[in-house]
């Protein structure tokens, strides 16, 4: 989320979390001076970072009342565990392609509440590209995961075919936007209806 009015519209939908990107190189960056009431939501909020200093993450989480952070860079298990021990819930993102070794997630099992599997690209997410979802069959870890990467309004049927016991949610982003950080409410509403039937 990037705009207060849009955030207010999205949070009226049956969504579990709202994401806010604190990575300056992202087109969805909340900005150095975010809109005044952007974070004033009663929905649980996720702050997204890429290779940010751990103390900066803690400070931002405290200042803006975030209890969950998504780490989308090369953060190591030690950093994740330190943040967890400070009271934050951790979503650790992994960039997946055909060469990805799902065994690398094992080192983060004790530190992360959730994993997020996104498409490996030159950028850190927001590419609008999918990876081969059949690769998820290679994941045999214990930590539940979110599916991300290029999911669009027409993907509900295919996602419902995924039969993985640890798939616990879907990360919806660029495929449901009118502009970076500006979500299309009707597209979200229609998709959520299809995916929850």
Give all domains of the chain, ordered by start, each with its CATH number: 4-195 (3.20.20.70)
The pLDDT of residue 45: 97
Has residue 89 got a pLDDT over 60?
A: yes
pLDDT digits (tens, 9 = 90+) for 94-134: 999 999 999 999 999 999 999 999 999 866 555 568 999 99
Model confidence, pTM: 0.94
Using CA atoms, how far apart are residues 13 and 190, in angstroms rounded to an integer? 11
Q: What is the pLDDT of residue 177?
A: 96
Per-residue pLDDT band at 93 (split at 50, 70, 90): very high
> Which distant-in-sequence residues (6+ apart) come within 8 Å of 14 by Cβ?
192, 196
Number of other residues whose CB lies within 10 A of the CB of residue 33: 6
Q: What mean pLDDT is predicted for residues 39-67?
A: 96
DSSP run (H or E) holding 146: strand 145-147
């Amino acid at each position: 989320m990037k705009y207060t009015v849009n955030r207010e519209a999205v949070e009226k939908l049956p969504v579990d979390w709202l994401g806010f990107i604190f990575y300056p190189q992202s087109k969805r960056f909340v900005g150095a001076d975010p809109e005044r009431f952007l974070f004033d939501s009663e929905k649980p909020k996720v702050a997204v970072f890429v290779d940010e200093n751990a103390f900066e993450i803690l400070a931002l989480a405290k200042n803006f009342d975030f209890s969950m952070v998504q780490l989308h860079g090369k953060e190591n298990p030690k950093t994740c565990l330190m943040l967890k021990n400070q009271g934050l819930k951790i979503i650790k993102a992994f960039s997946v392609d055909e060469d990805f070794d799902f065994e690398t997630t094992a080192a983060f099992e004790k530190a992360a509440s959730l994993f997020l599997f996104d498409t490996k690209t030159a950028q850190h997410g927001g590419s609008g590209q999918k990876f081969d979802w059949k690769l998820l069959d290679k994941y045999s870890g214990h930590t539940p995961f979110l599916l991300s990467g290029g999911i669009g309004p027409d993907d509900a049927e295919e996602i419902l075919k995924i039969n993985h016991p640890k798939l616990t949610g879907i990360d919806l982003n660029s495929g449901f936007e009118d502009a970076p950080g500006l979500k299309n409410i009707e597209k979200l509403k229609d998709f959520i209806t299809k995916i929850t039937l």
